[in-house]
Chain A
Amino acid sequence: MRKFFTALAAVAVIGLIAGAASAEIKKVRIGTEGAYPPFNYIDENGKLRGFDVEIAQALCDAMKAECEFVVQDWDGIIPGLLAKKYDAIIASMSITEERKKKVDFTDKYYNTPAKFVQRKGAGHKIILEDGVDTVADVSKVHLNKEGLKGKTIAVQRATIHENFLRDTLGDVVTIRAYATQDEANMDLVSGRVDLVLADSVALDDGFLKTEAGKDFEFVGPGFTDRKWFGDGAGIAVRKDDTELREALNKALKQILADGTYKKINDKYFDFDVYGG
């Protein structure tokens, strides 16, 4: 019955708080997705976990503020911020020009490339050039439009990966946009789609290294083109919220300097996700 009453009590949370300009930030409400392992996910005890969540916690500790997490599906995560459902998004959101029109970002807190995944031995070819490891400028290489024609590619809805696909291959491939990355992966496993495009680390740790992903592999180079993939993952805040942005940037510098960041990094990854 406990849950029942918490649910009822939650009704009382219609806040009507006059926005007083306080110098100190006491409480930060953080929006995250909870469906993007290993960055943020809900474990079997119903608790939020992951790299993003621990970074958020560390930032709040550094700011001496109280953290409250709000779970929000990805495609509504920016509208939710604008509607003041929370004050910051810490959910592996890439800093892009398109998003900057609506929200402000802190400095990046990690940066990893995007990659495609296919069934082992499916033999898809993403770009015509051989031996390319990362593509920082898509206009310098040739996407294999001929070979990918008619293929179905899964992405998560409202992501940089969806935008990239629609803009570069949208005319030749069928794009299936899912609410969560897990659903996109699930449909790759069941054979409904030929390829998945997403963040390489999320795909590696959240899918390829799991039981379900054992028959799948990366294909093609990593994509880092700034036009779509931006400058890495940052924390989004509302445009007028300079105070919070600066406090978060300060806290970010602090945890990078005092080793907290590295500790969290090493807990989740065997390489440096902060990136160059």
Chain B
Amino acid sequence: MKNIITLIGASALALSAGMTSAIAEEELFIYNWTDYTSPDLIKKFEKETGIAVTLDTFDSNETLLAKLKSGATGYDIVVPSHNFVELFIKEDLLQEINASKLSGYENLSDDFKNSFWDTGNTYTIPWMQGATSFTIDTDAYKGDIHTFDLLFNPPKELQGKIGMFKSANDVISTAQIALGIPLCSENPTEMTKVLELLKKQKEHVKIYSSDGILERLVSGDVAVHQNWSGYSIRAREKKASLAYAFPKEGVPSFSDNLAVPQGAKNYDNAIKFIEFMMQPENAAIQSNFAGYANGVKGSAKFFNDAMRNSPEVNPPEGTNFIFTKACSEKGIKLEAKVWESLLQ
């Protein structure tokens, strides 16, 4: 009993100690996807600015949305994906940063100065970009890998060895691209085709899961798995026969973005971090860590060899990247229906 009381006393002390230190020095609270922030980058930022960074992590855009909507945050920097940015702006969850007036803005590549989700970078700057097609074991299948046919009309050797994301939007967008149907289609006839395609595919699917993809690929549990390009690099490093596909039908892509949420306590420090990230050298440190491209011109010359030579970051000439979209209310409803009928 006495021990418990001592323990509680100690933890209360630890708590209050934590609180006082929070007031004492300059701080920055970053809320990012897990395993997505280079520790070297944070160390460099802390050293240059004297700001102490605390990094917390989340698992999905929906979690971030729910947390910001509740108003209870305490975060100064958040990292929403491109297809959620419009929604975040509409819901008044982000503060204006007017990136075009910040130092280093000239370094941003033009694609991201005129992105459809935040034209003129009033609220966000790009963080990392990558693809969400699939990783395939070239030992299991010898033919041309750059087609979605392998996922949706699998040849015999891949049947029953397919892994898909557990995410309505990712799976359905991929099916839409494969069928040549516009993303976020609101046409029931088109969506019926999507459902039929996915239902037919389901017989050959081993697992729907966005977790543990690397293990399944490396152990040979699956031969082909929907995957993020950055994580595909790590899988290939473990098993050289794994390759990343850039399907000719189009490659679903994403861009994650830095933004400052409403109610951020350290706005000035957040701006300092955003300016810091627009420096080519710093963007390159982050890319080297995560294995994704960034939106800063001139960062490529700071890439390490692994990054410079990796096929995942250097797609074949003429690859058609398609940024996924945020669907309208009707689109989301149709998506949810297709997804639920697929899995019921």
Q: Indicate whether A and B interact.
A: no
Chain B residues proximal to chain A, CB less than 8 Å: none
